[in-house]
Amino acid sequence: LKPKVPVRRMVFHEITKEAIQRALENTRDLDTDLVDAQETRRILDRLYGYEVSPLLWRKIRPSLSAGRVQSVATRLVVAKERDRMAHVSAQYWSIDTAFTSAGQAFGARVASVDGHAIATGSDFSEKGELSAKAVKAGVLHLDEAAARAYAQALEGAPASVIDSVTRKPYRRRPAAPFTTSTLQQEASRKLHWNASSTMRTAQSLYESGYITYMRTDSTALSSQAIHAAREQATQLYGAEAVAESPRLYGTTSKGAQEAHEAIRPAGDHFRTPGEVAGSLSKQQLALYDLIWKRTVASQMADAVGYTATIRVLTGIEVDGKRHDVLSSASGTVITSPGFRLAYQEGRDQGRYDAEKNDAEKTLPDVAEGDAATLTEATPDGHETQPPGRYTEATLVKTMEELGIGRPSTYAATIQTIGDRGYVTHRGQYLVPTWLAFSVTRLLEENLANLVDYDFTASMEG
């Protein structure tokens, strides 16, 4: 009998000459634990799908499917829709104000009356009532009549004064290099692509040797990549825009195996988007540009500045009673942009984003006790909104946080629940069908352990 030849493997995450040569020179033993984990998932998927799917055929309709990942993803979308259906809207009013001080104009919003904070959307429960916490804090819920009365009194107020000026240091680190899930999320936010389009484009870039392997849950960069990113950032933005020492990133997602490097431009020296523009399609170039910017920015310095808040006190009289009205204006001033010279991370549209005012704007250089003149007071009505539906980006983010599925499965899972008729797309949003409600309820009531959010994550462990 011939002796068994030990299995050795080449490991490379990018299709470049340097990477292949390094892989040949540094072969390693096969990691049988990773192989076993993948085989276990395959077997489990079949035990789950082959046993549960026929139940759906008999009880609901033919050609449906159930799966370890797809059924839980469908349940997430259905649960969000249930929350939306249970939501009761509440109406509330705010008052926007405008002031001039030290010869400069700035906008503000009434923050409190007689020390009681004005209610905002986040102060209401899903039942359309002030939350217990808000009631305990004495939050003031303005209706239309009260808001208009206060606004009218403010416009007739004789004088205002700067009550306080506060400044707090602002520092923000750059985002980590892309993993599969964060690439899908950012491409959804900035390019308005679905997960399938993102992965198809990334696959073509990888196969053409432009980026490293695109199915990964690691944010780590090789020493060659760190050197290339720092070198390019120095050339393009100056040494002062680069972090003093190399930045190392760790992965925090559940069950991350970190079998691959983060997604980055391929090679020991990065090609800029301008250098590759002639050889890439418009879609490929857009994704390469995103990956290149994120990678270079990850090794740059923090963005530094300060957040400033100006509070203006105005005395008014309503129905024969005196009230002290405090208006607040906030802004962020960036004094050293650092990584922002190369890249800024996108944001998901949150429930109360329209009410938040964290924009970067210049506020007047005033001091406590300075006089201020109120030039305008405008009441504005609002209505609380139900929780936002999932987009592909936010669904991927939630699945990653819960440890549901692997990076390589996210796009395929979303594609599957769409093909099976469980969700439809309304713009960027995922809307569950009545079929999804039926399937989810059947599984919740009869096979609850199989659609438990921690089930697939515990199996990964």
Give the active site residues. Answer: 213
Phi, psi of 332 (to 5 degrees): -115, 130
Distance of alpha carbon 289 from alpha carbon 270, whole angstroms: 12
As a whole number of angstroms, the distance between CA 450 and CA 48 comes to: 8
Tell me which H or E stretch contains 53. helix 32-59
Q: What angle do CA 404, 407, 410 make, to 5 degrees?
A: 70
Contacts of 387 (CB under 8 A, 6+ apart): 80, 83, 84, 87, 351
CA distances from 354 to 90, 122, 125, 148, 370 (A): 16, 12, 18, 21, 30
DSSP, collapsed to helix, strand or coil, labels residue 382 as strand
Q: Could you say which DSSP state residue 385 is in?
A: -
Q: Which residue carries 């469908």 as its tokens?
A: 74
Residue 311 DSSP one-character state: E
Distance CA 49, CA 41 (A): 12
Nearest to 150 by CA among 98, 95, 109: 95
Burial of 321 (0-12, 13-18, 19+ CB in 10 A): exposed
Q: Would you give the DSSP letter of residue 195? A: H
Distances (CA, A) of 240 to 300, 337, 341, 415: 9, 10, 12, 45
Residue type at 329? Answer: A
